[in-house]
């Protein structure tokens, strides 16, 4: 028995060493998370408009097009939980903050770390922001070949670049690399549509997310910060295939919560016909053209001191 355990450990030892070395090396590669953390550490006192949220804001709102001093702290698959954590971490330093922009997308209120497309991002919040809610390893998040390419680009070729601008806007949603609007709708909805949304577990997730949203709104209200909630424009291939129940529950809860807080306004832009084919990068994300339109619109709302009317919504 002891021989078996000893030999198994001996055999596994080189693999464990390699795994640890790879994990540490990957951890030290500068990326968008480490950049955003660094930016917030240095400049959070100056931020007037803070953009939080998932890829919808990360690629959909360009801070350079805002009149106020704006920073995009959103990231792909960023849960409300982490939006709140970022806010909690920097709230004492956000003295000039006037507006928070937060997207409420079709999966937002039903999302948690267990969803495969979300879980792989969680280690980044642990490593770079110190938010260790769920243990996760960088080497497990991507295929080994992808990680090796990343290491080569960073340590050997020194060609690793940030995929975001200085103010945190993603440069990945480029119109030169658009994706098929039908295929992406199918692929995205496959994981975004939650099976059995009335189940005990999904109800719990839904309530937890609403509670986080309320906590963000309450802190904002107490500190005279306005909150702009919105749902991103989506292409018809995506819109037409949504689960009506999940969609209406999300929109009803969001409109109700926006009515509850007088510092909050909600725009449902999902069916906004101003956004044409070239504005979409895929079925549920905007290209730089769409991002420009959306950024100008959001800026105009902020500049009008939230006097713009909320858009019509199908599910209010």
Residues that bind other proteins (CB under 8 A): 1, 3-4, 8, 11, 14-15, 140-146, 196
CB of 43 vs other proteins, minimal distance in Å: 35
Residue 142 or residue 248: which is nearer to other proteins going by CB?
Answer: 142
Cα angle value 306/73/162 (rounded, 5°): 135
CB of 20 vs other proteins, minimal distance in Å: 14
CB of 204 vs other proteins, minimal distance in Å: 15
Cα angle value 293/189/73 (rounded, 5°): 45
CB of 170 vs other proteins, minimal distance in Å: 22
Residue 12 or residue 303: which is nearer to other proteins going by CB?
Answer: 12
Using CA atoms, how far apart are residues 194 and 106, in angstroms rounded to an integer? 10
Whether the Cβ atoms of residue 191 and residue 117 lie closer than 8 Å to each other: yes
Residue 145 or residue 156: which is nearer to other proteins going by CB?
Answer: 145
Whether the Cβ atoms of residue 251 and residue 315 lie closer than 8 Å to each other: yes
Whether the Cβ atoms of residue 95 and residue 50 lie closer than 8 Å to each other: no
Residue 115 or residue 210: which is nearer to other proteins going by CB?
Answer: 115
- What is the DSSP secondary-structure string of 228-250? EEEE----HHHHTTS-HHHHHHH
Token couple for 223: 């500190």
Residue 71 or residue 127: which is nearer to other proteins going by CB?
Answer: 127
């Amino acid at each position: 028995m002891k021989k078996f355990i000893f030999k198994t450990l001996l055999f596994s030892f080189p693999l464990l060493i390699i795994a640890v070395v790879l994990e540490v090396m990957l951890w030290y590669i500068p990326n968008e998370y480490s950049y955003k953390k660094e930016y917030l550490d240095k400049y959070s006192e100056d931020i007037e408009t803070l953009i939080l949220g998932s890829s919808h804001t990360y690629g959909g709102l360009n801070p350079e097009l805002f009149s106020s001093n704006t920073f995009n702290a959103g990231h792909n698959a960023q849960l409300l939980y982490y939006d709140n954590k970022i806010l909690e971490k920097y709230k004492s330093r956000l003295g000039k903050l006037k507006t928070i922009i937060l997207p409420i997308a079709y999966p937002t209120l039903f999302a948690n770390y267990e969803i495969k497309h979300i879980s792989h991002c969680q280690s980044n919040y642990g490593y770079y922001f110190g938010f260790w809610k769920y243990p996760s390893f960088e080497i497990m998040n991507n295929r080994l070949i992808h990680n090796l390419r990343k290491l080569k680009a960073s340590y050997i070729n020194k060609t690793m670049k940030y995929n975001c601008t200085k103010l945190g806007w993603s440069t990945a949603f480029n119109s030169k690399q658009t994706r098929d609007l039908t295929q992406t709708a199918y692929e995205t909805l496959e994981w975004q549509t939650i099976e059995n949304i009335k189940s005990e577990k999904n109800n719990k997730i839904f309530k937890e997310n609403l509670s986080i949203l309320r906590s963000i709104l309450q802190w904002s209200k107490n500190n005279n910060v306005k909150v702009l909630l919105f749902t991103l424009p989506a292409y018809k291939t995506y819109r037409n295939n949504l689960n009506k129940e999940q969609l209406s529950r999300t929109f009803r809860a969001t409109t109700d919560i926006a009515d509850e807080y007088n510092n909050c306004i909600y725009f449902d832009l999902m069916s906004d016909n101003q956004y044409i084919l070239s504005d979409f990068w895929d079925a549920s994300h905007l290209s730089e053209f769409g991002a420009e339109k959306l950024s100008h619109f959001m800026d105009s709302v902020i500049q009008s001191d939230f006097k713009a009317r909320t858009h019509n919504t199908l599910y209010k």
